Structure 1
Amino acid sequence: MYLMALSALMNMVLDPLLIYTAGMGIAGAAWGMVISQVFVAIVLAYWFFGRKDTYVSVSRESYVFQKQTVQDILDVGIPASLEFFLMSVLAIIINGMLVKVAGTDAVAVYAAGWRVVLFSIIPLAAIGTSVISVAGAAFGGRRYDKLPITLNYSFKIGSVIAISISVITWLFAHQIASIFAYTPESSYLAPHIAAFLATMCFFYPFVAPGIMSGCLFQGVGKGMTSLILNVFRNILFIAVFAYLFGIVLGHGEHGIWWGIVAGDILGGIVAIIWAKVYLSRLLRYQ
């Protein structure tokens, strides 16, 4: 969790420096992402292979090949990897639509604002990681009655955190935006970034049900179901609504923003309904 936060903070600082101060433009945003991710990867590698003070130690001597274990990991790991790929595809689609309706400045606003969004949902992602572990233990021990408790508790805690972050973001949107637009060359973007943040905060409360439901499915070994939910959210909902509001209906940049909000809200609702239906059937036929 700490490294995820550090990566997001590094990205926030590097993006405006590389885009405007270094004059790299959109490529600067890409390099900011690469540098922050590589830094985190180096730190993680040092912890695992250098200091070796983590709870689980990695060594060649402890490795024993087990085909079923590999299969179980791939059943969850491959769909989870494809979920990140979908996020990249969605970013390409959104950037393309923004360039079409509002130019490269809109991409800069989206890139800067989305860093805040990713930073804001880190606590929810951390809770979701815990859901995977708890759900996996309950499912493996055939304590299916604990799965609804896990989902409901994480959903409630996540919703409280998300609503709190939404309120803070909405109240201090201008102050947060100033972090990305503190140079004379980029100061004109500050009001647009603030408007983006004030819009995005409306879907934060619906991130919790989406993340918790997806992590629950990963915990019980249904990685493909989690992937399908992400396809619905990223492609069928967000991309379609962004195109509908921003281009078809002609609302431009702000229409794309509201399309993202609408898609995320609908995706969260579908995810929590799907998870509850699955759990009810699991308990009924156990």
Structure 2
Amino acid sequence: MKQDKTELIQNGDMYKVLLTLSIPIMINSIIQTLYNLVDGIWVSKISSVHFAATSFVWPINFLFVALGIGLSVAGTSLLSQLLGAGKYKEAREYTAQLMVSSFLLSLVFMIVGVVTSPYIVKLMGGEGNFADLANTYLRISFFDLPFMFLYFNINSIMNAQGNTVTPTILSAISAFINVVLDPVFIFTFNMGIAGAAWATVLSRVVLALFGIKFIFNEDYDLKPDFKGFKFNKKILKEIVRVGLPASIGQIGASIGFMFLNGFIVSYGTATMAAFGMVNRVTSLVMQPAMGVGAALTAVVGQNLGSNQLHRATESFIKASKIALFIGIIGGVLIFVFNKPIVNFFIQSKDEPEVIIQSITYMKYVAFSMPLMGMFSVFQGIFQGSGNTKYSMAMEVGRLWFVRLPMILIFKSFYNFGPSGIWFSMSFSNFIICLYGLWVYKTHGWKRKTISA
């Protein structure tokens, strides 16, 4: 089966390759997104302030997750190139180094996060009861970091081999547990916002444990061997070289979102709630395009590893067509059906302003949906080739050099109100995709990481 996937990736019809790999990733990503959506729906039944609190602290938690994502990107890129070059023994050694180093880091981040949580919320501008709710949700969320990091590793190991089905099955099980536990913890046990956080933590524990079972019980080409384990400086250096730019990109984006949330909450909790709700919906709608971008990472990596540059280029072109199609359809749907979508996800009607602002933001963001799809495709080709400095530049540049300056200008010099935020969110996607296209055209991405 694994050899069939490798054969498909390196020699099969490219549309079939992309769809075969990306459809399970799409489903997996949608399931992962449901964690936040389900939390949001149940928490919004308490009040819009509770809903806003969950959105407010998301960038903080993501800041700590960023390094795990960078290591996962490095894993998929390096492992897929090694498999493409037929270097299985070396690939297994990379796998063990990746898992041990990332798990130890996750434990450190969990402790730091739990200790610093209230100070970070206060630094971001959270006050009073809103800050208490945000801190409660955030502090509990930090306990799932070790399990998230483990799952990131497992996901990159499987994806590098073209196995995108097993992670989807695992995510489905975990999401079902989360859906069941949320109302029980929030309302039956009367835990409120803390219940939503604990439900997510427990569901991710199950996700990681089942993933470990699959990795060690099945005959994987990349099954890690920890007997006599010692840190390999050469391998760790290579993982850091590829993973660090991806992590910096994610960290830069999450810090940017912390500042962005500070601007948004200054307009009131209604604006914060609208921002969080629409972002969750657009994230869900764009999961198919993001799945294509994630699949592209393995496709580009394996084909560059086997010295098939023409297939890596072909995969980018065809992935772009798929992502643009998905983005156009998604944009039309959320523009046309904005009111019923908002009314479904905002269960508490205690603050009508949340509904009004959500509908306005949704109309703005609908036009940039195709660009969000292309953003994922550019990330896929840069990460697959191991040139993560370009994906880092896109992550950081979109927020720090386009989005935040525009929002600051609109807030300081123009009386656009929240509409200045909504326009800046959409327009920044256009600018950063122009940069991605420029990098692609200048051929800077074609240097592979692993020499065959």
> One fold, TM greater than 0.5?
yes
- Structure 2: how far apart are the matches of 1:209 and 1:28? 28
Change (3 A) 1:193 1:84: same
CA contact (8 A) 1:208 1:268 kept: no
**Pick from 390, 395, 408: which aligns with 1:243?**
408
TM-fit CA distance, 1:211: 1.8
Alignment partner of 1:21: what SS? coil
Matched, 1:217 2:243: no
Contact 2:385 2:445 in 1 (8 A): no
Task: Encode CA deviations 1:28-56: one digit per residue, 9 max, x unaligned.
Answer: 44438933763563243122223546755
Post-superposition shift, 1:58? 4.6
Map of 1:27 onto structure 2: 53
Tell me the residue number matched to 2:209.
46
Q: Tell me the residue number matched to 1:10.
A: 35
Extract unaligned runs of 5+ from structure 1. Answer: none
Residue type of the partner of 2:321?
A: K
Give me the whole-angstrom Cα distance separating, in 2, the residues matched to 1:256 and 1:141.
45
Q: Which residue number corresponds to residue 373 of structure 2?
A: 208
Structure 1 19/90 Cα, relative in aligned 2: closer, same or farther at 3 Å? farther
Distance 1:129 1:215 in 2: 6
CA distance in 1, matches of 2:337, 2:323: 21
Partner in structure 2 of residue 125 of structure 1: 290
- Amino acid aligned to 1:27: A
Q: Name whichever of 182-191 and 61-70 sits farther off.
A: 61-70
Name the aligned partner's letter for residue 239 of structure 2: I
Sort the Cα spacing of 1:209 and 1:103 in 2 relative to 1 into closer, same or farther, 3 A.
same
Q: Which residue of 1 aligns with 2:265?
A: 99
Contact 2:407–2:420 under 8 Å retained in 1: yes
Q: CA deviation at 1:244?
A: 2.5
CA distance 1:244–1:135, change in 2 (3 Å): same
Bigger relative CO (Cα 8 Å, ≥ 6 apart):
2
Code of the residue aligned with 1:127 in structure 2: it is: V
- TM-score, structure 1 normalization: 0.86
- Give the number of equivalent residue pairs: 281
Aligned match of 1:115: 280
User: Which 10-residue stretch deviates more, 27-36 or 144-153?
Assistant: 27-36
Moved more, 105-114 or 83-92: 83-92
Q: How far apart, CA to CA, are the structure 2 residues paired with 1:237 and 1:269?
A: 12
Q: Identity across aligned pairs (percent)? A: 19
Change (3 A) 1:123 1:59: farther
Unaligned stretches of 5+ residues in structure 2? 1-24, 58-136, 142-196, 448-452
The equivalent of 2:226 in structure 1 is 60
CA distance change for structure 1 residues 281 and 137 in 2, over 3 Å: closer, same or farther? closer
- Which whole-Å deviations, capped at 9, do the CAs of 1:236-275 have from their partners, x for residues lacking one? 0111222223433221101111011111111112112211
Q: Report the RMSD for the aligned CA atoms in angstroms.
A: 2.8
Higher mean alpha-carbon deviation, 236-245 vs 251-260, is at 236-245
**Cα shift at 1:75:** 1.9
Paired residue type of 2:207: L
- Cα gap change, 1:43/1:164 in structure 2, threshold over 3 Å: closer, same or farther? farther
Instruction: Quote the Cα distance in structure 1 between the aligned partners of 2:278 and 2:311.
Output: 38
Moved more, 119-128 or 44-53: 44-53
